[in-house]
């Protein structure tokens, strides 16, 4: 586990673990790039090999082209994917509409804090930067340097406090809400490729910075 000192200096991600379908995930450490593919094999998910307690996490992402209805592609933090008591902080793209992004966070397994944001662009048209800044007393989500959401810790309200991995995945979410969330899966433009580059995680073991809100 990384040192819990608050640090917002970043470094390229050097190693990843692939949780499933490794043949659909390509990692090139030399160029700091990762490719996720959704096709007949299903999707794939990668994560950092280290948990972090606070810091700044970022990536340039070009989302899949074509008709991506039904798919979810993302970048997020989680204390452990699949744990019902997990903490989590999300950027999620909903395949039915590539001009928006959903942000959300969980504390001890409780979420339902979704917000939808108009990106002002098609997330598949080019690479765009997505940043999560996580501090003990607030979270910020930024796209291309623009603050799109800020949540401050409030007394009596759950807030992410567990060390978390950086994750990203692409998967068919069309079964959720009877396809109302990401739309019905069409698949006419498969394979769908989500590109990540310049992926950065907190650096060092005791890099201090101000996290005043």
Write the CB contacts of 157 (distance below 8 Å, at least 6 apart in sequence).
107
Q: Which residues are catalytic?
A: 88, 92
Write the CB contacts of 110 (distance below 8 Å, at least 6 apart in sequence).
158
HSE toward the beta carbon, residue 74, CA cutoff 13 A: 28
- CA 67, 180, 102, 110 torsion-angle sign: negative
Q: Backbone phi, then psi, for 124, in 5-degree steps?
A: -100, 0
CA distances from 77 to 44, 53, 122, 143, 163 (A): 16, 10, 23, 16, 9
> With b meaning 16 or more CB within 10 Å and e meaning fewer, what string describes 12-51?
ebeebebbebeebbbbeeeebbbbbbbeeeebbbbbbebb
Which one, of 91, 83, 74, lies nearest residue 173 by Cα? 74
């Amino acid at each position: 586990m990384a040192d819990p000192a608050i640090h917002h200096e970043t470094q390229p991600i050097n190693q990843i673990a692939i949780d499933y379908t490794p043949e659909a995930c390509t990692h090139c450490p030399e160029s700091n790039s990762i490719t996720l593919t959704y096709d007949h094999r299903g999707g794939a998910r990668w994560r950092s090999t280290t948990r972090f307690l606070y810091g700044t996490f970022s990536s340039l992402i070009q989302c899949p082209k074509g008709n991506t209805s039904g798919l979810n592609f993302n970048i997020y933090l989680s204390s452990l994917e699949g744990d019902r008591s997990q903490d989590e902080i999300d950027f999620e793209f909903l395949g039915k509409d590539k001009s928006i992004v959903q942000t959300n966070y969980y504390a001890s397994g409780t979420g339902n804090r979704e917000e939808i944001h108009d990106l002002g662009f098609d997330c598949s048209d080019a690479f765009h930067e997505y940043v999560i800044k996580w501090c003990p007393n607030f979270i910020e989500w930024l796209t291309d340097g623009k603050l799109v959401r800020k949540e401050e810790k409030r007394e009596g309200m759950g807030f992410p406090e567990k060390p978390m991995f950086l994750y990203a995945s692409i998967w068919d979410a069309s079964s959720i809400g009877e396809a109302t969330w990401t739309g019905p899966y069409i698949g006419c433009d498969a394979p769908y490729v989500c590109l990540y580059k310049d992926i950065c995680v907190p650096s060092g073991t005791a890099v201090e910075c101000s996290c005043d809100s």
